[in-house]
Structure 1
Amino acid sequence: MNNRYFVIFKCREKMRIKTYEFKTRSDALNYFRLFYEPDSEALYYSISVSEFDAHQKVEHLLALLTFVEKSINGDTVRKDWRNWNIGRVTIYETHEFDGDSITQGIITEIYSDHAILTADDMYLWIDDDTQFMFR
């Protein structure tokens, strides 16, 4: 296999893009995970990992971390549960002691201090500091 893997940073500083190439998927994802934290928001608009298949000449997105999103008016805003509307389909990643998981659901409730995402008969409480699942 001649696949190549890229970690791409869209930087806030001067709207620069930094690209790093890796020979293995594991190396690229491990490098990406180093930046998977809230402090990265100060430096980057987004960080992604892509796989380029040289034989097929196609590129696939493997991972994406974004810190901004478009508001209902089309403005670019900081990604924040306060900007979400009820009915919004949302993918949310949680980090637990037994591993990471990705939850896809719909925002069903928004309050002044938290939002509720509903997915598969479970609810995910989201606020500024925590997230937890409950029935």
Structure 2
Amino acid sequence: MVNAQVLKDHASKYKLGRDNAAEYFRQLFTKHPELAKYYDAEDLDPDSLHKSQKFMMQGMQEMQIFFRLPDAIDDEKKLRSCLGDFKNIYEDNSFPIAEWGKTIDGFLAAMEKCAGGVSADQKKNWEEVWKKSMEEMKKWGWFK
């Protein structure tokens, strides 16, 4: 079972702003360069993304959705709404929702850098959120 309070406390340490909003994408594209093509970033150096208004805005948007997951994880209606926000973003970018599971790597790396680290307990709880989210999206028929 996910300890939502641990994750909410952890998320509150990430002071999302102009300086670190694109960090998630920098980490994601460093760890999974094959995903950059969905954001038309395959030819960009991940270290340059913090200068991009596009990635600042999208980083803020996606991180805010990630931060809503702990409150939603035990409420199917909220979870479906939250994950639906990702689905809409991904459809706009032709990003296969089945690839969403890889986003945890970029997310945890951004949390490590911008939220004072990631403890073993935090990591375990975030991983459980991703696991359950992937199971639910598959159950809902969003991917095979």
TM-score higher than 0.5: no
Q: Using CA pairs below 8 Å that are at least 6 residues apart, which structure has the higher relative contact order? A: 2
Q: Please give the range of the TM-score, normalised by the shorter of the 2 chains.
A: under 0.3
Query: Under a length normalisation based on structure 1, what TM-score does the superposition of the two structures give?
Result: 0.25
Relative to its length, the structure with more strand (as a share) is 1
Q: Which has the higher helix share?
A: 2
In our comparison, the structure showing a higher alpha carbon Rg is 1
